[in-house]
Structure 1
Amino acid sequence: MAGLATTFGSGAMTNSIAEVGDAACILAIGTNTTEAHPVIGLEVIRAAKGGGKLIVANPREIDLCRFASLWLQHSPGTNVALLMGMMRVIVDEGLFASDFIKDKCEDFDAFKESLEDFNLDFVEQVTKVPKAQIIEAARMFATNCPATIIYAMGITQHSHGTDNVLAIANLAMLTGNVGKPSTGVNPLRGQNNVQGACDMGALPNVYPGYQAVSDPAIREKFETAWGCSLPPSLKEKFGITWSCSLPSSPGLTLVEMLEATYHKDIKALYIVGENPALSDADTQHVRKALAQLEFLVVQDIFLSETAEFAHVVLPAASFAEKDGTFTNTERRVQRVRKVIEPVGDSKPDWWIICQVAQKLGAKGFDYSQPSQIFEEIGNLTPSYGGMSYGRLENGGLQWPCPFDDHPGTPILHANTFVRGKGRFIPLKYIPPGEMPDKDYPLILTTGRSLYHYHTGTMTRRVTGLNTIEPEGVVEINPQDASQLNIAQGDRVKISSRRGEVIAKAKIARAWPSGVVFMTFHFAESAANILTNPKLDPVAKIPEFKVAAVKVERL
């Protein structure tokens, strides 16, 4: 999100899901689309079967490779080098969109100069992708328009993840593939409503609608609406002396909060719908932090690994037991309708939060139904200003939708970039935070399975899914397995500098020699005990995708 906000002015998916299937060229990088985002995966396959070019850039031979015109099997953590190498070819061969760049972009010359560091000999050495394939990919993407880029956590979950996103944005601008149908830069969100949560200000630096906490006018607007404070003129008029101002500077990210907890700078946490005891990097460190809290509240639909540390557990309702809206990865706001009443003592999240706030003596939390909250959202969030439950009954709307009869916005940056002009960013190659060595000679990368979701809080309670995939495995290349005397199904120990886990070995040709893979769904073989907590300096996301490990047969 931070990378796209810097270059384009907005951190969201630029285009719509249905447009992907009409693209003349698709670059799918850092995404196992058919397993993690199967609906979008179908659109990618539709484009490929319809004659479109598909470039897959992934260390793993994923299902989409069956439909690809070209598969670039780069080493984990080398995305910037690969993308900058492609752009070096595009610039050297004069394939870039000069008019688009001149009219709609800025800082191109500085970016162009930064490409000098990425000669193809260097790029091949770093990425392990042959020069001929890099040249072919560059020409394919630059000459088949409209072209679109889709990416997921294989791009963002690195210690240089923001640079990865900036490189993708540079490529889209370089080829003029922004602001038109079936083009753009399209991040695929990791959960069904993560876009909506971010839209509503579940970030440390913004209020709802990505309105900066550092902007005094924005802060005053929310203080007035929420009754936190009043403008000086009204205070003087009514003789009001009290004040409870909203924050004027960004707060902490999730990882920073847990680190502050570890050092006892934070004494209490309220965790809603999150399972950091299994989902966060270096989870042994996270669990030590949670154990030190003086007070922990966990609000969730099941008793998760994190809830085991809680002093109070508040039972929340599932998606099928509540009304509201979800905002999906294409910025589409859609109604969610209750199918059954909440089971047992569970309640909708909004109701629980309102009850807690009222017990604390807060005002303004007397909502009786979620539609009232959505009305407030529209009043305070310009991009949602034209939406209402009435309009959403007829189908979803894509933000920005600023006024009542606005049709929604399928394509961002159509006339101009949100920030005015698209900004090219010069980049350098930065290696992953941890590289293999004699003690830990293999790279571990992590991801999701088709059959389970995140920490398995819901999916591991489904008998059929557990029958198909009952336990965690470590996928290992046949050559590495042979050298380590490991056979299919052997129990092995995987160790990193942070801990060790036991899992079953699965021999898999999908991975290159030197790289092993684990999902993070299984508490019994918790991959995130091993992963590297090194943070991206901008987005503060840990390096889940590259950790140095060793594997030993038991």
Structure 2
Amino acid sequence: MTNSIDELDSMSTGSAIFAIGTNTTECHPIMGLGMLRAAQRGAKLIVADPRAITLTQHADVWLRLKPGTDVALLNGLANVLINEGLADEQFIADRTEGYEDFKSTVMRYTPAYTEAITTVPAKLIYKAARIIGTASTTATYYTMGITQHTSGVDNVRSVANIAMLTGNMGKPLTGVNPLRGQNNVQGACDMGALPDVFPGYQKVHLPDIRKKFSQAWGVEIPETSGLRIPDVLHEIEHGNVKGLFVFGENPMRSDPDINHVKHCLEKVDFLLVQDIFLTETAEMADVVLPGATFAEKDGTFSSTERRVQLIRKALDPIGNSRPDWLILAQLNNCMGIDTKYDSPEDVFDEMRSLTPSYKGMTYSRLENEKLQWPCPSEDHPGTPILHIGEFIRGKGSFFAAEYRDPAEMPDEEFPLILTTGRVTAHYHTGTMTRRCWGLDGLSPEERLEINPADAARFGIEDNGYVVVTSRRGELRARAQVTKRVPEGLTFVTFHFSESPGNILTNSAADPETGTPEFKVCAVKVRAGSAEKHPAKPYEVKTVCA
């Protein structure tokens, strides 16, 4: 996030919130509540989402776009902002570049043209653009409804275009604010858990950066980047990756086209999995290392707003389980790599000594202060708002993106679009939440949302079982006939092992990031039977109140 979560508490009349591709009240409930409270105080709320969600019920404008048409919608909004004189010309002149090429592109995306692509009525595009352009401040929030497309990078750049176009960057109550999809995913990325960067997003291909880390670690680091997850699977298929170490991840449920994932995991010579439960992926492993839960280890979490938070364990790890940092250090030592860490603080101190954005953070400061990176020195207060005065790269760059269709569109054989997401009761692949009776009782099985018109067309009854099929696999779920989804669209989650949503999804990915297109694939639906619906793969236990 360029800005901070608590800014929602200051939004009221005159402010605007633009939520696109985010079911915030279900996936980030605290922030969703903050948005609703801001709307109650008078802030204007614009929501772009194909499904009827809690936010759309409270929105001043609901832009119900066709899945995968975000670039067209955002270009249409930009078209109105420019043509109606609502662009911040001074901000554009002083702080950005590439505007004329961008302007030339979006001039073709008239509201009428945009409506033809997105199905959003032109009058609503005008209304939303006018709110964004006339509000004293507009803050934009998005999640995986923007990123999990083959056009995900173009989507994000297009979101940033709107913020720069209206001067809503580098000041309070504004910004481009991605809400990360998992706890500490921000921290994992900050620490360099990406194939082309060291901690602090320092690029592997830069010789001076590589030299710095080589000297600190006592090894020669190659100049080539590592592999993204789709590339790893590709290399396994071609025999170039023989072993795989998976920790804190359950690709047998979280990755797209899990039949293909299963094929790849079965092909490796050695699969090592480190986790807190015996997940579907761990069940396939040659060796499983028991990790510790968040309550059993010390360390830091970095939240979606770049805030680094110190955590202390509540109890010692159970049995043979150990904290992740200790397992990794001991594995290094077993392989002859001398790794001398006595605590997570040692690891953190080494990292911050090599990472300018974290350099000013110490455990003693984190005990008492709320710090957001960049924090370059120990007397620096942290940075609640990015890009004040100038962008990190100097000038903000407009990017002229063109709409392109998702990788897989409905046809005669597979006439419906499937999109995937989450429900409040469950987290990610359900590894923890499905073992909690209180949460699993709220949402005990997969439900396919289907529009009444489509249900009638395919003989589907509400609350009856259905079989959903894509080009990659099929699952059985209970039907929820509802107008939450428009005609032609269906929805499932990926929380349920007995009905794994990602057996259907397409592994086609954004060419720049490798992020798969979880939000659009083509399916067909037919009535099923309860007798064929498999039982739960494990007993739900009372592990939380």
Match of 1:212 in 2: 203
Match of 1:330 in 2: 305
SS in 2 for 1:298: strand
Match of 2:512 in 1: 538
Instruction: Establish whether residue 404 from structure 1 lines up as the match of residue 395 from structure 2.
Output: no
Give the counterpart letter for 2:273 in structure 1: V
Instruction: Establish whether residue 271 from structure 1 lines up as the match of residue 243 from structure 2.
Output: no
Residue 75 of structure 1 and its aligned partner are, at CA, apart by 0.5
Residue 262 of structure 1 and its aligned partner are, at CA, apart by 2.4
* Alpha-carbon RMSD: 0.8
Match of 1:416 in 2: 390
Residue 21 of structure 1 and its aligned partner are, at CA, apart by 3.5
Instruction: Establish whether residue 475 from structure 1 lines up as the match of residue 449 from structure 2.
Output: yes
Q: For each residue in 1:175-194, what CA deviation from the matched residue of structure 2 results, as whole angstroms up to 9, or x when unmatched?
A: 00000001000000011100
SS in 2 for 1:454: coil
Q: Any conservation in 2 of the 1:401–1:408 contact (CA below 8 Å)?
A: yes
Residue 346 of structure 1 and its aligned partner are, at CA, apart by 0.5
Cα separation, 1, equivalents of 2:155 and 2:502:
22
Match for residue 10 of structure 2 among 8, 22, 36: 22
Instruction: Establish whether residue 90 from structure 1 lines up as the match of residue 90 from structure 2.
Output: no
Cα separation, 1, equivalents of 2:146 and 2:392:
23
Cα separation, 2, equivalents of 1:201 and 1:368:
21
Instruction: Establish whether residue 173 from structure 1 lines up as the match of residue 160 from structure 2.
Output: no
Match for residue 317 of structure 1 among 277, 292, 306: 292
SS in 2 for 1:341: coil
Match of 1:552 in 2: 526
Match of 1:257 in 2: 232
Cα separation, 2, equivalents of 1:366 and 1:109:
54
Q: For each residue in 1:125-160, what CA deviation from the matched residue of structure 2 results, as whole angstroms up to 9, or x when unmatched?
A: 110110000000000111102101000000000000
Q: For each residue in 1:404-434, what CA deviation from the matched residue of structure 2 results, as whole angstroms up to 9, or x when unmatched?
A: 1110000000110000000001111111111
Give the counterpart letter for 1:356 in structure 2: L
Residue 395 of structure 1 and its aligned partner are, at CA, apart by 3.3
Cα separation, 2, equivalents of 1:425 and 1:546:
24
Cα separation, 2, equivalents of 1:408 and 1:380:
17
Residue 116 of structure 1 and its aligned partner are, at CA, apart by 2.5
Give the counterpart letter for 1:246 in structure 2: I
Q: For each residue in 1:297-318, what CA deviation from the matched residue of structure 2 results, as whole angstroms up to 9, or x when unmatched?
A: 0000000000111101000000
Cα separation, 2, equivalents of 1:468 and 1:425:
43
What aligned pairs does 1:139-538 form with structure 2 within 5 A after superposition?
139-228=130-219, 245-363=220-338, 365-538=339-512
Cα separation, 1, equivalents of 2:441 and 2:89:
55
Q: Any conservation in 2 of the 1:145–1:177 contact (CA below 8 Å)?
A: no
SS in 2 for 1:377: helix
Q: Any conservation in 2 of the 1:334–1:395 contact (CA below 8 Å)?
A: no
Cα separation, 1, equivalents of 2:352 and 2:448:
47
Q: For each residue in 1:471-526, what CA deviation from the matched residue of structure 2 results, as whole angstroms up to 9, or x when unmatched?
A: 11111111111111111111111001111111111112111000000000011111
SS in 2 for 1:468: coil
Match of 2:531 in 1: none
**Stretch moving more, 18-27 or 300-309:** 18-27
Cα separation, 2, equivalents of 1:135 and 1:20:
25
Residue 550 of structure 1 and its aligned partner are, at CA, apart by 0.3
Give the counterpart letter for 2:517 in structure 1: E
Residue 43 of structure 1 and its aligned partner are, at CA, apart by 1.6
Match of 1:234 in 2: none
Q: Any conservation in 2 of the 1:307–1:313 contact (CA below 8 Å)?
A: yes
SS in 2 for 1:525: coil
Cα separation, 2, equivalents of 1:440 and 1:59:
19
- Among all aligned residue pairs of Structure 1 and Structure 2, give the percentage whose two residues are the same amino acid: 54
Q: Any conservation in 2 of the 1:25–1:53 contact (CA below 8 Å)?
A: yes
Give the counterpart letter for 1:283 in structure 2: I
Q: For each residue in 1:53-85, what CA deviation from the matched residue of structure 2 results, as whole angstroms up to 9, or x when unmatched?
A: 000100011111222111111010000001100
Cα separation, 2, equivalents of 1:210 and 1:483:
50
Residue 259 of structure 1 and its aligned partner are, at CA, apart by 2.0
Match of 2:122 in 1: 131
Match of 1:233 in 2: none
Give the counterpart letter for 2:373 in structure 1: W
Cα separation, 1, equivalents of 2:10 and 2:484:
28
Match of 2:537 in 1: none
Cα separation, 2, equivalents of 1:21 and 1:426:
34
Q: For each residue in 1:12-32, what CA deviation from the matched residue of structure 2 results, as whole angstroms up to 9, or x when unmatched?
A: x10000113434000000000
Runs of 4+ in 1 over 6 A off after TM superposition: none
Match of 1:237 in 2: none
Cα separation, 2, equivalents of 1:135 and 1:148:
18
Cα separation, 2, equivalents of 1:510 and 1:272:
36
Cα separation, 2, equivalents of 1:252 and 1:373:
24
Q: For each residue in 1:378-417, what CA deviation from the matched residue of structure 2 results, as whole angstroms up to 9, or x when unmatched?
A: 1001000000000000033100000011100000001100
**Stretch moving more, 315-324 or 15-24:** 15-24
Match of 1:74 in 2: 65
Q: Any conservation in 2 of the 1:490–1:505 contact (CA below 8 Å)?
A: yes
SS in 1 for 2:107: helix
Cα separation, 1, equivalents of 2:283 and 2:139:
44
Cα separation, 2, equivalents of 1:263 and 1:279:
23
Residue 264 of structure 1 and its aligned partner are, at CA, apart by 2.0
Match for residue 110 of structure 1 among 87, 101, 105: 101
Cα separation, 2, equivalents of 1:84 and 1:322:
46
Q: For each residue in 1:304-356, what CA deviation from the matched residue of structure 2 results, as whole angstroms up to 9, or x when unmatched?
A: 00011110100000000000000000000000110011011100000000110
Cα separation, 1, equivalents of 2:175 and 2:516:
26
Cα separation, 2, equivalents of 1:52 and 1:257:
45
Give the counterpart letter for 2:415 in structure 1: P
SS in 1 for 2:413: coil
Q: Any conservation in 2 of the 1:492–1:553 contact (CA below 8 Å)?
A: yes
Cα separation, 2, equivalents of 1:74 and 1:119:
15
